[in-house]
């Protein structure tokens, strides 16, 4: 018989069940059995050889497993940048127990057969739960709608052309109609290609100073406006990916007040850095959408604090070193993020902008709700035993990674607040100091 697992002595933060105090968590058969005081003490008293395994969580937060709504695992076809094995190892190390992987692979996840083959590979290789999205348009080319019904049936958890915007409004409307019919969210990479052009960084004082082509905020907000209008019309569920500017936050705020089914995520780099922080010699600072201005960053933080922005998602986008070495103008967009989501988010906690409960809501409760995962996002009896144990005071210099890539501006920096243990379906996927 498999041993029970007890996570002992940590502060359990379970917003759904309104728990925020020191408790033990008892896990059996991959499910939560109970969250109560003194579970370990009772079991230890029996005096015999222990029939359980314990994780010491004293001084730590014990939260429902973190769910990352935005990851590029790069499989199939781009295994020089990442694979299911390395990407989910990085996720576990970063305290993430479930993730959504995007469809801009090679080939694109635009047919049921491709989705099914990826799901079989996930079953074999993944260390954490992986939920693939199905593409909205064939080959992400923006010309022809995929068979969204068949993709949903084959296991697509959401629909997205992420990496590319859906420029054709008729196709976006059809995707949102499918969203309503099939009860799957549309994950919206909001960008207007003609306004982005060959831009490299945010259009503003920095782009002028550095003599780099700019990407205006309007490139994002114009599509946010359009897609909110289409969501309003269709009743589909619209989720704005990687909101980066103040106006996007305001648009989502107003749309919610009008009853539109819209939500939004922000990436840790967008609430941590601004374009002023960019080192033009380091292409790891290049991502889409770009690092914006100080007022944008503050608006994102405010949006996260008041719930206008519902989720924190990493947009983990690994690129091998040779592709980033060509300089900021030519390098591809994207940075890794799975291992830095906790410490960067806890920076907001430390500055008083996001308390522990809201942190868990943004990184677990809401993502589970958006994806319709009823047994995740909380620690109620019978829930999946996906748990993140976070030591808010643990520190390290970011100098090793489980990812294949290290294209992140936080490489070599001091990180504070780290996963001590990551439990997936009752099994230890990561234990700090062990792996
Ligand atoms: Zn995107």
| CATH class name, domain 4-62+383-393+414-431 | mainly beta
Name the token pair of 395.
């520190």
> Which residue among 14, 162, 315, 391 is the active-site one?
315
Distances (CA, A) of 104 to 36, 55, 133, 184, 231: 43, 38, 10, 18, 23
What pLDDT does 435 receive? Answer: 56
Q: Where in the chain is the domain with CATH 3.20.20.140?
A: 65-371
How many beta carbons lie within 10 A of that of residue 375, not counting itself? 14
Question: Which parts of the chain sit beneath pLDDT 50?
Answer: none
Determine the distance separating the centroid of ligand 1 and the alpha carbon of 163, expressed in angstroms. Answer: 4
Determine the distance separating the centroid of ligand 1 and the alpha carbon of 236, expressed in angstroms. Answer: 19
Q: Where in the chain is the domain with CATH 2.30.40.10?
A: 4-62+383-393+414-431
> Catalytic: 315?
yes
Provide, rounded to the nearest whole percent, the portion of the chain with pLDDT above 70.
99
DSSP codes, 231-294: HHHH---EEE-S--SHHHHHHHHHHHHTT--EEEEE-HHHHH--GGG--TT-GGG--SSPP--H
Determine the distance separating the centroid of ligand 1 and the alpha carbon of 327, expressed in angstroms. Answer: 21
Determine the distance separating the centroid of ligand 1 and the alpha carbon of 194, expressed in angstroms. Answer: 16
Residue carrying structure tokens 């907000």: 221
Determine the distance separating the centroid of ligand 1 and the alpha carbon of 318, expressed in angstroms. Answer: 13
Distance CA 35, CA 32 (A): 8
Determine the distance separating the centroid of ligand 1 and the alpha carbon of 134, expressed in angstroms. Answer: 14
Distances (CA, A) of 184 to 14, 108, 257: 25, 19, 22
Phi, psi of 264 (to 5 degrees): -150, 155
> What pTM was estimated for this model as a whole?
0.98
Cβ atoms of residues 238 and 231 within 8 Å:
yes
How many beta carbons lie within 10 A of that of residue 270, not counting itself? 25
What pLDDT does 169 receive? Answer: 98
Ion ligand 1: protein residues whose beta carbon lies under 5 Å: 162, 189
Provide, rounded to the nearest whole percent, the portion of the chain with pLDDT above 90.
97
What pLDDT does 47 receive? Answer: 65
Residues in contact with 13: Cβ distance below 8 Å, sequence separation at least 6, in sequence order: 19, 20, 61, 62, 63, 356, 357, 360
Distances (CA, A) of 119 to 101, 109, 115, 269, 315: 11, 11, 6, 30, 20
Superfamily of domain 65-371: Metal-dependent hydrolases (3.20.20.140)
DSSP codes, 182-240: HT--EEE----HHHHTT--EETTHHHHHHT--EE-HHHHHHHHHHHHHHHHHH---EEE
Determine the distance separating the centroid of ligand 1 and the alpha carbon of 123, expressed in angstroms. Answer: 26
Name the token pair of 373.
């995962």
Determine the distance separating the centroid of ligand 1 and the alpha carbon of 10, expressed in angstroms. Answer: 36
Q: Which residue in 138, 130, 120, 114 sits closest to 73, CA to CA?
A: 130
What pLDDT does 433 receive? Answer: 87
How many beta carbons lie within 10 A of that of residue 246, not counting itself? 20
Name the token pair of 140.
């992400």
What pLDDT does 45 receive? Answer: 75
């Amino acid at each position: 018989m498999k041993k029970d697992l007890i996570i002992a002595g940590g502060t359990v933060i379970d917003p759904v069940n309104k728990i925020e105090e020191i408790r033990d968590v008892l896990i059996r058969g991959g499910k939560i059995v109970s969250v109560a005081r003194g579970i370990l003490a009772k079991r230890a008293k029996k005096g015999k050889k222990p029939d359980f395994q314990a994780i010491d969580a004293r001084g730590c937060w014990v939260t429902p497993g973190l769910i990352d709504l935005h990851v590029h695992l790069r499989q199939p076809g781009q295994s020089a940048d990442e694979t299911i094995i390395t990407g989910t190892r990085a996720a576990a190390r970063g305290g993430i127990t479930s993730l959504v992987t995007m469809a801009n692979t090679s080939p694109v996840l635009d047919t049921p057969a491709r989705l099914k083959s990826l799901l079989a590979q996930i079953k074999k290789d993944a260390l954490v739960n992986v939920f693939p999205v199905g593409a909205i348009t064939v080959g992400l080319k923006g010309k022809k709608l995929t068979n969204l019904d068949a993709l949903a049936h084959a296991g697509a958890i959401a629909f997205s052309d992420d990496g590319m915007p859906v420029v054709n409004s008729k196709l976006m409307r059809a995707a949102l109609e499918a969203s309503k019919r099939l009860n799957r969210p549309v994950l919206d990479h909001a960008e207007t290609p003609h306004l982005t052009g060959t831009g490299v960084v945010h259009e503003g004082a920095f782009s002028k100073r550095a003599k780099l082509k700019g990407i205006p905020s309007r490139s994002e907000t114009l599509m946010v406006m359009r897609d909110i209008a289409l969501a309003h019309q269709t009743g589909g569920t619209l989720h704005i990916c990687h909101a980066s500017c103040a106006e996007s936050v305001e648009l989502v705020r107003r749309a919610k007040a009008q009853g539109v089914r819209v939500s939004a995520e922000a990436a840790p780099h967008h609430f941590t850095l601004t374009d002023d922080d960019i080192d033009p010699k380091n292409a790891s600072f290049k991502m889409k959408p770009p690092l914006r201005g100080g007022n944008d960053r503050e608006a994102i933080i405010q949006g996260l604090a008041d719930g206008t922005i519902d989720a924190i998602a990493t947009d983990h986008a690994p690129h091998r070193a040779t592709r980033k070495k060509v300089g900021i103008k030519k390098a591809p967009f994207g940075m890794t993020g799975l291992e830095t989501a906790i410490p960067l988010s806890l920076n907001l906690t430390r500055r008083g902008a996001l308390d522990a409960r809201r942190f868990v809501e943004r990184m677990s409760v809401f993502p589970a709700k958006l994806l319709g995962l009823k047994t995740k996002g909380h620690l109620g009896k019978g829930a999946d035993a996906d748990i993140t144990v976070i030591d808010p005071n643990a520190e390290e210099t970011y100098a090793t990674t489980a990812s294949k890539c290290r294209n992140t501006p936080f490489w070599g920096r001091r990180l504070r607040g780290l996963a001590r243990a990551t439990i997936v379906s009752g099994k230890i996927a990561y234990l700090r100091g062990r792996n």
